[in-house]
Amino acid sequence: MRDISLAVVILAAGKGTRLKSPLAKVLQPLGGRPLLHFILETLRGVAHDRLIVVIGHQAGEVRAVCEGWYPDIEFVEQREQLGTGHAARQAEPLLSDFAGDVLVLCGDMPFLTAETLNRLVRLRRATGAACGLLTLKCPDPKDFGRIIRDAGGKVKGIVEDRDATAEEKKVDEFNAGVYCFDNALFYKALSSIDNNNAQKEFYLTDTISYLVDHHFRVEALQISDADEIFGINSLDDLHRAETILGRKGPVL
């Protein structure tokens, strides 16, 4: 099914305020390398036609760490930090004429594997879904968004942890923040979302509700390895990532 083109959008604009460091989040060192290098390395195992990095804080430095990885890497700047949905939308002008799929992920997830990303892309294409999203099934409490399903088990939407009710917080399937969209619908969905939430941000997750409400199919690829979708948001996370790296070794 490789005849369908694939664009990858890496969200790499964040400051990483909770890391208490002058470095942008994706520049934080892990195993002596910037975090962003790990996902760039992983993407060498995912056949793609376009690679776009959304930059913001310390844009020049983030560009520099991307140099040499791919010959045609593209950059777009998020000048205001208004959420993941806003960040993803910055790539729209570059993809306005693109026909294919868009794989969206964050630059602070060093243990994602090419195998999982390829499975997600295959799922979207095999099912014809408007979006395939990666989820974590885990009994341990997480502060991630919860995957909300209907009585028949179909994905209805994603509720962010800060906006979840007590009942929704009991859900043990979590959003991993990795998506494969049909590009024809992706930016239409993004243009529909608002910032009526606790953070007053534009959530990328709200695109899922839009697609479901408009009767488009959404499929989830469920995994159980919490380490693989581990994102770096604090110093404690960075320390834990060093431990995981020591146990697993570099993710290829």
Task: Sort 31 into a burial class: Cβ within 10 Å, 0-12 / 13-18 / 19+.
Answer: middle
Active site includes 33?
no
* Nearest of 41, 16, 42 to residue 27 by alpha carbon: 16
Residue 222 backbone dihedrals phi, psi, to 5 degrees: -95, 130
* Nearest of 35, 76, 96, 13 to residue 237 by alpha carbon: 35
Instruction: Given the residues 18, 79, 125, 217, select the one marked as catalytic.
Output: 18
151 neighbors 144 (Cβ within 8 angstroms):
no
148 neighbors 60 (Cβ within 8 angstroms):
no
Q: What is the CA radius of gyration of the chain?
A: 17
108 neighbors 178 (Cβ within 8 angstroms):
no
Strand partners, 182: 101
End-to-end CA, the chain: 23
* Tokens found for residue 83: 């959420």
Print burial letters for 77-112: b (CB count within 10 Å at least 16), e (below 16). ebeeeebbbbbbbbbbeebeebebbbbbbbbbbbbb
User: Cα–Cα distance between 102 and 19 in angstroms, integer?
Assistant: 29
85 neighbors 193 (Cβ within 8 angstroms):
yes
User: Cα–Cα distance between 168 and 129 in angstroms, integer?
Assistant: 25
Instruction: Cite the active site residues.
Output: 18
